[in-house]
Amino acid sequence: MKGLIIKDLMSLRKMRATFVFVTVSSFVITVMALISARCGNIALAEREYLAGGTDLQMSPVHMLWYAVAVMVILPLATIGDTLTLAFEADKNSGFEAVAGALPLSVKQRVTARFITLFLTCGTGTVISLALSFILSLFTDIMTLGDFAGLVLSAASLILIFSALEMILIFLLKMNNADSVRIIALLIMTAVFIISASGRIIDAMRAMKTTELITDGLIFLENRWFILACAAAVCLLISYFVSTGVAERKRGEI
């Protein structure tokens, strides 16, 4: 099983390069923006806004908070594709035939894929948390707890997305990676809209869409454990469904 995980990690080399590039870039941009908020142009704009010398609808620091949140989530988003990339790599090379002849059970093969997902997502989370710690030293806009909450929420969302992808790949025998990604995203979006429909309608009626974003960010920063629990449930369901289906449809997937 360890061999399959190693193979999956090798096939994700491209993703690793993207992750490093996005992480370094977003880290550098965020540090520069935070320094600017302390003693640069953003700090000047904030002072002007507070003095009422500008017609901006929102405080520059508040806008910066949105941007920093996106920058913190961005690196993790690049590893959201781990599963489909690994499946695609196997499919393109015809590795399924080789895997079927290896001294491994179907369950071990599915488990290996989940472990690969945990390893990539775990590594991404740890790196993002470490960078968040550094970022928290540069600003008062967000505490380390806020940064960590955002990172853990993003990691949980990625795990939920991957759990959905896994079910789509196994249960629906979907071979097209793009369809898998789109359907998983649509399901998550639908769940979000349904669960927050009241808030969304209220914000739309009051023409205060930014409040919706602010509420969303506050939720991600402080209620990450709700998403983490949802991710754990989704992953458990996904694992049992995937192993069951893979065993039943052995040779086809």
Partner 1 sequence: MDNYTNVIELDNVVKDYGDFKLDNISFDVPMGSVCGFIGQNGAGKTTTIRILLDVIRADSGEIRLFGEDVKGNAPRLREDIGVVYDEMGFHEFMTAKDINIMMKHIYKNWDEKVFFDYLKKFSLPSKKKCGDFSRGMRMKLQIAVAMSHNAKLLVLDEPTAGLDPIVRNEILDIFREFVLEEDHSIFISSHITGDLEKIADEVVFIDGGRIFLKGNKDEILESHGILKCRKDELDSISKSLIVNVQEGAFGIDVLINDRKAAAKLYPELVIDRASLEEIMLFYVASSRR
Binding site for partner 1 (CB under 8 A): 1-4, 6-7, 10-11, 13, 89-90, 92-95, 97-98, 100-105, 108, 250-252
Helix, strand or coil, per DSSP, at residue 145 = helix
Helix (H, G, I), strand (E, B) or coil at 252: coil
Fill in the amino acid letter for 136. S
Contacts of 178 (CB under 8 A, 6+ apart): none
| CB proximity list for 102: less than 8 A, separation 6 or greater | 3, 4
Amino acid at 147: F
Instruction: Please state, in angstroms and as integers, the Cα–Cα distance from residue 86 to each residue in 7, 15, 41, 109, 248, following that order.
Output: 9, 10, 44, 12, 21
Contact 35, 70 (CB under 8 A): no
What DSSP string describes 5-65? HHHHHHHTHHHHHHHHHHHHHHHHHHHHHHHHHHHSHHHHHHHHHHTT----SS-HHHHHH
Distance separating alpha carbons of residues 124 and 128, to the nearest angstrom = 6
